[in-house]
Structure 1
Amino acid sequence: MIERRHFSGGMQGKNLRYVENDYSAPCRQARAGFLLLEHFSLPAFTQALDTIVTANLLRPGLFSSRTFALSDRKVVSDLELVISPDARLELADLQELDLLVICGGYRTPLKVQPELTDLLRSASELDVALAGLWNGAWFLGVAGLLDGYRCAIHPEHRPALAEVSKMAHVTSEAFVVDRNRLTASSPAGAYHMSLEWIKALHGKALVEGIEDILSFEESRYRRIQPLPHLSLSQPLREVVKLMDANLEEPLELERLAAYAGRSRRQVERLFKEQLGTTPQRYYLELRITEARRLLQHTEMSQVEVLVACGFVSPSHFSKCYSAFFGHRPSKEKRLYR
Structure 2
Amino acid sequence: MNSFPERGHLLTEQNNPNSQNLDSLTALELVDLFNQEDAQTLKAIAGARTQLAETVDRTAERLRQGGRLFYVGAGTSGRLGVLDAAECPPTFCTDPELVQGILAGGAPALLKSSEALEDRLEDGASAIASALVNSSDVVVGITAGGTTPYVWGALQAAKSRGALAIMMACVPETQVSVDVDIDIRLLVGPEIVAGSTRLKAGTVTKMALNIISTGVMVKLGKVYGNRMVDVAVTNTKLRDRALRIIKDLTDLSRESAADLLDRSDKKVKLALLMHWTGVAKEVGEELLATHQGNLRQAIGASGLR
Q: Which has the larger radius of gyration?
A: 1
User: Shared topology, TM-score over 0.5?
Assistant: no
TM-score where L is the length of structure 1: 0.36
Which structure has more RCO (C-alpha within 8 Å, separation ≥ 6)? Answer: 2
Higher strand fraction (1 or 2): 1
Higher helix fraction (1 or 2): 2
